[in-house]
Homo-oligomer: A and B are copies of this chain.
Amino acid sequence: MSRVFNFSAGPSTLPVEVLEQARQEMLDWQGSGMSVMEMSHRGKHFMAIAEAMKNDLIELLAIPANYQVLFLQGGASAQFALIPQNILNGKTKAAYVNTGAWSTSAIKEAGKYCEVQLSASAETSGFTTVPTLNTWQIDSDAAYLHYTSNETIHGVEFSEIPDVADIPLVCDMSSNILSRQFDVSRFGLIYAGAQKNMGPSGVTVVIVRDDLLGLTQDTVPSVFNYQLQAKSDSMLNTPATYNWYLLGLVLQWSKRQGGLAAIEQTNIRKAQKLYQAIDASVLYRNPVDPEYRSRMNVPFVLADAGLDKEFLRLADAAGLSSLPGHRSVGGMRASIYNAMSEAGVDALIDFMAEFERTH
């Protein structure tokens, strides 16, 4: 068996130790005589797994006591619709910042439930930057302000949490949660699909401040009512149990790395060396404003797009997998989430240099 370096944007590479433990426990979890995926979610074994997983997330993110942590199904895309229906709180307007494809999708979906105020947009830049905070327009009657902390497709990441005073700040952190330290108390609501830094797809984390609970519209399915799920420890119905277990294994691995402080330093190093290699080359180019370049997703184009296919073919042959850019932007994209080792980034840089030398 030979593992590749997998640069997929998500679902994405996972720590090999996590996969090895899952393999080891597949037929018999710690002497229980069954796989985790065969366990009743109400039984003592799975309850222990679930509790440890939740506590590890609370510890890693230092989530304050006045927040509830939910583990739901449907992906971040379901939350695009569920957030306004859960927290509009009788208001008719919500503010959104558009920094790329995922913000755009969130805005489109929210428009089904409320009037969207476009507070700021980087669209005219081709989504290569983040609009300066002092240009944002935020109406005082907006229920919340939504932004996407990292745009997976465009490779744009907020370098700081925007200060929007008293309005509840809502953030889609799908593609950079657990990658850096941040202050949860700055947010009203944080949500993230697991399939980048937290585990396999099929579970969505929602971290919501207590004062935003109990505001859900009647039309929301009960299993997507934040308050009902908070009261039930996200077990109002059968959760995606095996996904929770794998998420838990990734959280344990994240703690073993030294937590977010250590993980962030590694991520800075990985991203810096890859961007430096791109900037120093003649063949490769990343179009994003250096201040807002993503540490997680590094898109780049070749000066001669006619070389794209050959680049991808040779990369694949060299064990560097899943490098095509998103179909909407083309070129290449290297997603270098927490589980992508520094050795993988080094291998990519070496390959890119060799490809440039020979083409």
Contacts and interface: CB of A to CB of B under 8 A. Distances in A.
Contacts of A238: 10-11, 75, 77, 193, 195, 201
Contacts of A227: none
Nearest to A240: B202
Contacts of A10: 40, 238
Most chain B beta-carbon neighbours within 10 Å: one of A9, A35, A241, A322? A35
Contact of A221 (B3, B80, B223, B321): B80
Given A38-B13, A239-B201, A33 B2 contact: yes
A41 interface: yes
A246 interface: yes
A4 interface: yes
Given A221-B82, A240-B202, A11 B27 contact: no
B11 A75 contact: no
A165 interface: no
Contacts of A1: 27-28, 33
A102 to B, nearest CB: 11
A312 interface: no
A43 interface: yes
A254 interface: no
Interface string A15-42: 0100110110011100011110111110
Nearest to A74: B73
A81 interface: yes
B242 A9 contact: no
A212 B113 CA distance: 24
Interface residues of A, number: 69
Contact of A319 (B3, B33, B75, B240): B33
A28 B8 contact: no
A12 interface: yes
A313 interface: no
A220 B2 CA distance: 44
Contacts of A9: 40
A41 B193 CA distance: 14
A237 B75 contact: yes
A6 interface: yes
A66 interface: no
Contacts of A223: 74-75, 77-78, 81
A200 interface: yes
Contacts of A156: none
A243 B202 contact: yes
14 contacts: A3-B27, A3-B33, A4-B32, A11-B37, A11-B238, A14-B37, A74-B221, A75-B223, A75-B238, A77-B221, A77-B237, A78-B223, A80-B221, A80-B222
Interface of A: 1-4, 6, 8-14, 16, 19-20, 22-23, 26-28, 32-35, 37-41, 43, 73-78, 80-82, 85, 109, 112-113, 193, 195, 199-203, 218-224, 236-243, 246, 319, 321-322
